A and B are shown apart, each in its own frame.
Chain A
Amino acid sequence: MTTPTSDASSAYAEPAAYLDMPPERRAAAKVHAALLSKTADRIARELPFSADVDDFRRVLVEEARS
């Protein structure tokens, strides 16, 4: 017996299914995102667990004080 696929799970199967995009542009977007994701993965391994999105502003402020 097969389980029916809900609309919601279909949407998860195809990223950005809600956008009206021709297949070639969709494919190009996926390739580009995958390329960037490799960099994100590599950088994530270098980051301390405590790294925070506000660190950037902290460094700017520290620099202004130095």
Chain B
Amino acid sequence: MTDLATLSARALAKAIRDQQLSSVEATKAAIERLRACHELTNCLIALEADEVLSAAKAADAAIADARTTGPLAGVPLAHKDMFNRQGKIASWGAKIRPDTPAAADATAIARFKAAGALQIATLHLAEFAYGPTGHNYVLGHARNPWDPARITGGSSAGTAAAVAFGAIPVGLGSDTGGSLRLPAACCGVTSIKPTWGRISRAGAMPLAPALDTVGVIARHVEDLALTLGVLAGPDPLDPAASSVAVPDYVARLSDPVVGVRVGVDAALIAEAHPQVQHMVGEVTDILVALGLTRAPCRFTDWQTLDHLVQLVQLPDASSAHSVFLRTRPGDYGPQVRARAEVGHFISAVDHLTALRARGLILKRTLAETFKDVDIAILPILADPLPTIAELDVKGGPQVQAAMGRVVKYTRPINYLGLPTLTLPIPRSGGLPNGVQLIGRPYAEALLLAVAQAYQREVPPEIARPLKM
């Protein structure tokens, strides 16, 4: 029998829909895998076994009565614990939490439910989703399923660990400065951070709303396509949610990729560790072998982009936390407290300058960087996968520099709001890592088609501790 851990959500949904497998069986197996994953990685915040088994029974009954349902009917999923769920209190990965249970589901949760998905558990995240490594001084650090001494990346740490382990096929995360891409890369799976506004953020914990982007982490590219189609679209509850038409991403997976121009910014990539440069070259070679065309491109003044994104993010996050920072400073972990303080030192004028410049700089990037290319490729981590101990900087004076190095290649893209997709590298028995494909606004279908072609050459893997 097929190992359920290896199935995509799409394949699992089909097996359940065709009654080759019941939702209860799939859910029981997922519960066991989540428990095992948690023991290894600290991925869980809350396991809701009884509730989800009741929901699975109901899903099976609905399918048996041909009353169904949606493209994810009966499929058990789990998500980063920052989304409102009716009657529940999200942990936000923190000691400070909402005072009362949510009155309604976050839009992303509601859309998954409407598609028939079940929710087994809530998953680990960096405190307030404000950390790129998986360190959490309140909940305990997340550990990488390939090597528990190493980071998972963050902030969507538990989702990436659980997906990589095969506990769930896909789960929700968010990305304000790299929080979908970094954990996907560190855990050797894929993710999509869509164009800013493509998925509603209503009911998701805000970190820096001008940058916050809801997205998904999965092992199979087809699950990125399926779930993006479920989640994307306008939402009256989030005025930033885009009304741009949502394509059939699954149908577009087979779009031809021959001739797609992939841009390589050699100078920017050269700022990464040599091993990472080699990984980017290796992935690019695979893409070229698939028929893509390699072309030079240049992100003009990456450091300026990095400063501008901080000028947006730091005060945005500090504003959300300003009351708690004054009234409950001791309830913060040291790293988030130190980072949330910095925004108070940035002037309103500087913050607004960065926001006013955003349109101009996006336009310039599209006209220059993407002039002769369709997508661009960059590293995600600047360095080989670090250990938890190496990046355990707490709130010390090196925190900005250390975190800045981790998000060097991810954070500036959030300023531009561009869609990015994580491709895991071919591991060849070694530790995982990943690169990002960056597209023009709303080019998700193109990114997914390229990634689907790549995944035929570099198939998804299930993470288990390596014998080093």
Contacts and interface: CB of A to CB of B under 8 A. Distances in A.
Interface of A: 15-16, 18-21, 24-25, 28-30, 32-33, 35-37, 39-44, 46-48, 51-61, 63-64
A37 B359 contact: no
28 contacts: A15-B344, A18-B326, A19-B326, A20-B329, A28-B397, A28-B400, A29-B341, A33-B342, A37-B346, A39-B307, A39-B311, A40-B307, A40-B347, A40-B349, A41-B350, A43-B353, A46-B357, A47-B357, A53-B356, A55-B358, A57-B359, A59-B362, A59-B366, A60-B195, A60-B197, A61-B244, A63-B442, A64-B441
A11 to B, nearest CB: 12
Contacts of A54: 359
B29 interface: no
A19 B350 contact: no
B417 A25 contact: no
Nearest to A43: B357
Interface in B429-454: 440-442
Contacts of A20: 329
Interface string B291-325: 00000000000001001101100100000000001
A contact face: mostly helix, strand, loop, or mixed: helix
Nearest to A20: B329
Contact of A39 (B304, B345, B363, B442): B304
Contacts of B442: 60, 63-64
Nearest to A60: B441
B contact face: mostly helix, strand, loop, or mixed: helix
Contacts of B307: 35-36, 39-40
Contact of A63 (B338, B358, B440): B440
Given A25-B338, A60-B196, A52 B356 contact: yes
Which interface class (under 10, 10 to 19, 20 to 34, 35 or more) fits B?
Answer: 35 or more
Contacts of A25: 338, 341, 395, 397
A3 to B, nearest CB: 26
B344 A19 contact: yes
In the complex, which of the residues A20, A29, A48 has the most CB atoms of chain B within 10 Å of its own CB atom?
A: A29
B354 interface: yes
A19 B196 contact: no
A56 to B, nearest CB: 4
Nearest to B303: A39
Contact of B342 (A29, A52, A59): A29
B360 interface: yes
Nearest to A18: B326
B327 to A, nearest CB: 10
